[in-house]
Structure 1
């Protein structure tokens, strides 16, 4: 049980005791309620469709595992990706929707563990990823290369932060039978490798969106897009008009 949870990040039923699962459930509900309230200011005619597309993309990509070691694989968590593109409040709701659908329809993560998974990936992962991206925003505004580098670092740190949250919950009320040291070593070791894959996917996706529509990148909101990104947008618009 512990091994499966480590490899997939999603906690399964029974991996933590009932009080810990219940506490995480309450924290998840409170966090998502706050996110739903704050997300209203970020949603408009441009960002609302983008949020839907991002949710669908993360859901689809999470269904695809990439190998990291013999017998071990990982998949996109999506925290930094959604935070950079649609902001942390909307992004946390996007990831929570993905996790709920996966738990209810595909048994990917247990129902009693849904709260812990939302805390780890939709709250900790998203907001840590966004905090890193904001810290590196001056680099991101210099051009597309800076934005791609920012997305990579934010995604890597987001993955490790979600893994560490997993370890903290296991330390509080672990019931999976594995020692805390084993869980800590496996989670951080494997998710360091998974984070590299997460970073590559996130950087590629954010870079692709910024090349065509930099105005849809939440992280760049409030400032003129960098020259190199504006030029990419201009070429795309010119080509569309010519066709």
Structure 2
């Protein structure tokens, strides 16, 4: 049976480690080599690296890992800024590493070449990088609101029990904004209380199942009446369509201070 763990890096990054039945580990977004090298001293056996996008806090440790394991496959989207890639996936491409099957899902928005990886198995994990966070989504550095909304739609269509494994521990701050948008959402209130308790104990708030995200994450709920009303109030007029509503919600979050 596969096992999932998260190594912490920097202030709030997660380096995800998915280990096969045979003990081979797939490393997702190693922004720093040191946590992976430390885990290797305790028996971790890296078999491949998956990279969701080119930002240094997600790829900065790759060179250090390749110095230790020069023949590791490095899988990413086709982006010249990811120079270590040995295999560049296409949207929807299925591939296998360490005996585990994955599908690449292109999710432009945060960056133009962002890709998510979904393990193809019952309850298979979604490694969403900086596209989908718990109770939030990534900033639009290179993509458009329409692209990001389409990307979130694609991820939201995955099975309810999909564990969302995102790149950062942002959930508590995201919860403050989500409650501002949808204060009467009972599921969101319960999730916020859970998050506060987890963080008070120094524990991670992810992975979280996709069904919970659909019930609580405003960026997956732009068409829900309460979310739409809040967005329209912030805009000062009714959004023309769901893309304008999403764009407004993202701008609102960009300037939000709890």
Specify if TM > 0.5.
no
Higher percent of residues as helix: 1
Task: Please indicate the TM-score interval, normalised by the length of the shorter structure.
Answer: under 0.3
Name the TM-score, length of structure 1 as normaliser: 0.28
Higher percent of residues as strand: 2
Higher RCO (C-alpha 8 Å, min separation 6): 1
Name the TM-score, length of structure 2 as normaliser: 0.27
